[in-house]
């Protein structure tokens, strides 16, 4: 999708559709019959005049994602005027604007429109640059469709987005360019996650990583089974050994000229391209969704794509441990003991707790490669979905300063994560009678005991764990996003890395 910035009068803009946000500026009232005080978020008198009659009719409430489409609006050169509700003005933020922009794109492309112009709202809570950035990021999210393989697929997409704004042109254009890079990276991640496992094997994932690295100037190395065994990645190999598909250890490095020797940020992603559960096999119902079990690795690849283009002055190393988790005569069994790259011994209680095994060796390898700060991302546990539902992803940290840095990145990125505990008492749940630790602490506090397992391999290195199992896949279509892969964590990871520059 092409993005364009104009600073001229939106009333004079010739476009298929001009989009404006409508907010409710009324205060909370005990009177249930009180009418909303609606405001079209623009200073353009001609737009306010064109919208006045319908706003005063009582047909428009300003509630979030409510759409009202006017054809041939009086006084405007646009063919259509789309008014889209943003909810209460008091709480309207960049988070809301992203979603509103996505909803506008999805509304108009369903009507076979190919282009639109969005008037960036003027608000005390939004700078001109942050508003323009939110519009573009939200539009890219709304433009993605997952129905790749339908023979009757409709070619519905927005080809061109114009953002109408006022302010410093240089700063606004920089905001648009940045938002386009991040939006494309998020959709790149969604594209990887969306592919079925027969079309996204570990080998294919590695090929996609190589191609992206070549396009963006990243260093890329891909290793197979021999290297995994040479490195003594016993935890990673224990998962990979059950599949006929070759595993891939994918390493990307971003080392910009002029960056200090430290910090080196390590991004480690779970890349299970299909998860049957192994010998501890999953129920058949819903197993088809397990193609998404590489969403953590895909998020790291998407983040690296954006980082390479945004060029912050900080070194970043990414590791994705990619394999399938399959049941076979070669697969590991409950009761087996594996030796991780770090030398720790692991008793396998449940072969479906495989993501933490590949991450264990990925985290240790990242430290060997010189990473001073670690972040891993994984669709790790169903337990985090029980705890947080489909709204917040889980975040765990062994370092408060690093967590606060990521928390600030979340505010900028507009993604929702909730910090979970890592009290030492939880370690009792992963003690083994035959080895150092077990790979499954049981049902209770499952997301926490999984994080405690990973903490054993991060050790004293500042580390964050992102459990995105509940948010990497949108279960139902929303006004602003299609059902399917969400691309969660890409935006936050980019902002987090940039905070070190």
The tens digit of pLDDT for each residue in 284-318 reads: 999 999 999 999 999 999 999 999 999 999 999 99
Residue 372 and residue 494 share a domain: yes
Within-domain flag for 24: yes
Question: Which one of 356, 367, 455, 498 is the catalytic residue?
Answer: 356
**Are residue 119 and residue 255 in the same domain, yes or no?**
no
Q: How far apart are CA 335 and CA 344, in angstroms?
A: 16
Residue 111: pLDDT over 80: yes
Residue 32: which pLDDT band, with cuts at 50, 70 and 90?
low
- Looking at residue 123, its pLDDT comes to 78
Is residue 462 domain-shared with residue 341, that is, in the same domain?
yes
Report the pLDDT averaged over residues 183-190: 98
- The answer to whether residue 176 sits within a structural domain is no
264 pLDDT more than 80:
yes
> What average pLDDT is seen over the chain?
97
Among 167, 199, 220, give the residue marking a domain's end.
Answer: 167
* Reported confidence tier of residue 30, pLDDT bands at 50, 70, 90: low
Catalytic residue of the set 210, 282, 419, 427:
282
Structure confidence at residue 29 as a pLDDT band (50, 70, 90): low
Residue 297 lies in a domain: yes
Tokens 């009757």 belong to residue: 152
408 is catalytic: no
Do 60 and 206 fall within a single domain? no
Q: How far apart are CA 254 and CA 214, in angstroms?
A: 12
Q: Look up 356 and say whether it is catalytic.
A: yes
**SS3 state at 40:** strand
> Do 247 and 148 fall within a single domain?
no
User: Do 218 and 144 lie in a common domain?
Assistant: no
Q: Name the band, by pLDDT with cuts 50, 70 and 90, for residue 122.
A: confident
| Domain containing residue 411 | 187-498
pLDDT at 103 (0 to 100): 98
Identify the pLDDT of residue 372: 98
pLDDT in tens, 134-156: 999 999 999 999 998 999 988 88
pLDDT tier for residue 31 given thresholds of 50, 70 and 90:
low
Q: For residue 141, give the nearest of 183, 194, 189 by alpha carbon.
A: 183
For residue 107, what are the contacts with CB-CB under 8 A and spacing of at least 6? Answer: 67, 69, 82, 84, 479
> Residue 33: which CATH number?
3.40.220.10
Alpha helices in 232-380 (DSSP H): 234-240, 295-310, 355-368
pTM of the complete model = 0.97
Q: Considering the domain boundaries, does residue 227 fall inside one?
A: yes
Residue 175 domain flag: no
CA separation for the pair 177, 173 (Å, rounded): 6
Examine the pLDDT at 375 and tell me if it is beyond 90: yes
The residue out of 135, 167, 199 marking a domain boundary is: 167
Q: For residues 161 and 116, is the Cβ–Cβ distance under 8 A? A: yes
């Amino acid at each position: 999708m092409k993005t364009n910035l104009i600073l001229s009068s939106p009333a004079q803009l010739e476009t298929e559709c001009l989009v404006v946000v409508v907010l409710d500026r009324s205060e909370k009232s005990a009177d249930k019959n009180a009418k909303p005080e609606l405001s079209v978020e623009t200073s353009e008198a001609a737009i306010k005049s064109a919208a006045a009659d319908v706003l005063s009719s009582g047909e428009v409430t300003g509630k979030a994602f409510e759409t009202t489409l006017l054809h041939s609006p009086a006084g405007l050169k646009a063919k259509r005027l789309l008014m889209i509700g943003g909810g209460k003005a008091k709480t309207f933020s960049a988070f809301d604007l992203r979603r509103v922009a996505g909803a506008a794109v999805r509304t108009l492309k369903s009507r076979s429109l190919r282009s639109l112009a969005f008037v960036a709202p003027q608000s005390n809570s939004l700078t001109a640059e942050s508003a323009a950035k939110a519009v573009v990021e939200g539009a890219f999210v709304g433009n993605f469709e997952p129905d790749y393989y339908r023979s009757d697929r409709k070619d519905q997409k927005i080809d061109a987005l114009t953002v109408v704004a006022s302010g410093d042109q240089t700063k606004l254009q920089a905001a648009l360019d940045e938002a386009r890079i991040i939006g494309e990276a998020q959709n790149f991640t969604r594209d990887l996650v969306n592919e079925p496992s027969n079309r996204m094997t570990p080998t294919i994932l590695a090929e996609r990583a190589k191609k992206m690295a070549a396009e963006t100037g990243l260093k890329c190395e891909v290793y197979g089974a021999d290297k995994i065994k040479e490195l003594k990645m016993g935890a990673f190999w224990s998962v990979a050994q059950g599949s006929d598909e070759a595993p891939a250890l994918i390493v990307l490095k971003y080392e910009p000229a002029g960056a200090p020797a430290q910090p080196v940020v390590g991004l480690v992603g779970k890349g299970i391209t299909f998860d049957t559960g192994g010998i501890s096999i999953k129920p058949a119902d819903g197993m088809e969704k397990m193609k998404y079990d590489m969403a953590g690795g895909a998020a790291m690849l998407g983040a690296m794509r954006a980082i390479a283009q945004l060029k912050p002055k900080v070194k970043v190393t990414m590791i994705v441990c990619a394999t399938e988790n399959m049941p076979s005569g070669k697969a590991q069994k409950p009761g087996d003991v594996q030796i991780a790259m770090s030398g720790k011994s692991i008793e396998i209680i449940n072969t479906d707790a495989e993501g933490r095994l590949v991450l264990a060796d990925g985290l240790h390898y990242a430290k060997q490669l010189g990473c001073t700060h670690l972040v891993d991302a994984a669709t790790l546990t169903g337990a985090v979905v029980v705890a947080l539902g489909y709204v917040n992803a889980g975040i765990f940290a062994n370092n408060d300063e690093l967590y606060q840095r990521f928390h600030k990145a979340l505010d900028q990125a507009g993604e929702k994560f909730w910090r979970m505990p890592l009290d030492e008492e939880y370690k009792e749940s992963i003690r083994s009678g035959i080895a150092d630790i077990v790979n499954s602490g049981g049902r209770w506090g499952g997301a926490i005991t999984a994080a405690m397992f990973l903490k054993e391999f991060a050790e004293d290195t500042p580390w964050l764990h992102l459990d995105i199992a509940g948010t990497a896949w949108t279960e139902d279509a929303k006004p602003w996003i299609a059902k399917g892969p969400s691309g969660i964590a890409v935006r936050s990871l980019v902002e987090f890395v940039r905070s070190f520059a």
